[in-house]
Amino acid sequence: MKFATYRNGEADGCLMVVSRDLSRAVEASGLAPNLLQALQRWDEVAPELQRLSDALNAGLKPLARPFDPARCMAPLPRTFQWCDASAFLNHGHLMERAFNTAPIPDFDTIPVMYQGASDDFLGACEAVPMPDEALGIDFEGEFGVITGPVAMGATPAAAQQAIRLVVQLNDWSLRSLGPREMKTGFGFLQAKPSTSFAPVAVTPDELGEYWRDGRVHLELEVTWNEASFGHPHGGEMHFSFGELLAHAARTRKLGAGTIVGTGTVSNAGGERGSACIAERRVIEIIAQGAAATPYMRFGDRVRMAARLPSGETPFGAIDQRVVACQAAGTANH
């Protein structure tokens, strides 16, 4: 099944079932008003949602309309928990080399993860407001999963069984603010603005052979201002999603609607490029002693889409521009 959330004036939007080829969509609010409630009642509503999806894909839903990504909020516009990991070890090792920092203890055996804000996710086509170009505006292409309930202390195998949906996301970063926040030991806050999501969330079976071992085995194509930036492959992920979820649930249960991300998709060797500017800058520092690539400016556009060998984009595409944030208290014209 494939799901999206259309704007309807409510904070959680309207649940839509989307056809496999992303051409058509039909409202599913009669089964669950929004995706979060569907996840909370999954065992009850999933069979009916599957029947609706099957009928839509068979062309049997006359009320279906052309799917419009511009109407989409994030699949889950807000939720109770959002955690992001660093599951592609190449990215972390590059940072250590460039800045000559000590290795993170147990980096290859214990996942690194932070808990982010989950109250204001952005849709795939929304303009992205940022407060200041000088803060080092950067994109970070990732994959993620949305879960049902996960018990405290769940094994990786049990945690992986709780995965309901797979998503594609852009975990925006403000690089100038990150170093100080990391040194405090309290984790990111200001350095991590609202995260953006591709318009469609998919059940793992929709990815077929490209979902295996708890990983998304697809390239993530990234373009910046219409120029190719990278196409790293998700299969190089060191920790599986089951392992990431088990890590997050070691000392707490996870509620339905929890989202866990992979961190920046990154591949060793560099042939596939990068999914974030910071990584390219690090490669430049290692190769030539200084970074040459600047961070983003207001008006810049970034596009991200995971692509099947057939050319299809199962999650749709994130396609956004960075804009200056309007100061609080000013008129909205």
Position 98 scores a pLDDT of 61
Q: Do 21 and 123 lie in a common domain?
A: no
* The pLDDT of residue 330 is above 50: no
Helix 277-288 crosses helix 89-99 at what angle (to 10 degrees)? 50
* pLDDT tens digits for range 265-317: 999 998 999 999 999 999 999 899 999 999 999 999 999 999 999 999 999 99
Number of Cβ within 10 Å of residue 225's Cβ equals 13
* The pLDDT of residue 184 is above 80: no
What residues make up the domain containing 105? 82-324
What is this structure's pTM? Answer: 0.95
Cα angle: 269, vertex 231, 290; to 5 degrees: 55
Cα angle: 330, vertex 332, 333; to 5 degrees: 125
Average pLDDT, the chain: 94
One-letter amino acid for residue 80 of the chain: F
* pLDDT tens digits for range 44-70: 999 999 999 999 999 999 989 999 999
Residue 130 located in a structural domain:
yes
Position 53 scores a pLDDT of 98
Position 189 scores a pLDDT of 79
- pLDDT band, very low/low/confident/very high, at 219 (cuts 50, 70, 90): very high
* The pLDDT of residue 102 is above 90: no
Number of Cβ within 10 Å of residue 207's Cβ equals 18
Residue 124 located in a structural domain:
yes
* The pLDDT of residue 100 is above 80: no
- Percentage of the chain beyond pLDDT 90 is 87
CATH number at residue 148: 3.90.850.10
Q: Do 63 and 97 lie in a common domain?
A: no
Residue tagged 């303009």 (tokens): 127
* The pLDDT of residue 192 is above 50: yes
Q: Do 210 and 150 lie in a common domain?
A: yes
Position 333 scores a pLDDT of 34
* The pLDDT of residue 136 is above 90: yes
Among 14, 42, 71, identify where a domain stops: 71
Position 84 scores a pLDDT of 97
* The pLDDT of residue 332 is above 60: no
* The pLDDT of residue 185 is above 80: no
* The pLDDT of residue 183 is above 90: no
Cα angle: 265, vertex 74, 208; to 5 degrees: 55
Strand, helix or coil at 39? helix
* The pLDDT of residue 35 is above 50: yes
Residue 113 located in a structural domain:
yes
Closest CA to 167 of 261, 67, 303: 261
Position 91 scores a pLDDT of 86
Q: Do 257 and 121 lie in a common domain?
A: yes
Position 163 scores a pLDDT of 98
Give the pair of three-digit tokens for residue 6. Answer: 């259309």
Report the C-alpha gap between 201 and 193 in whole angstroms: 21
Q: Do 203 and 279 lie in a common domain?
A: yes
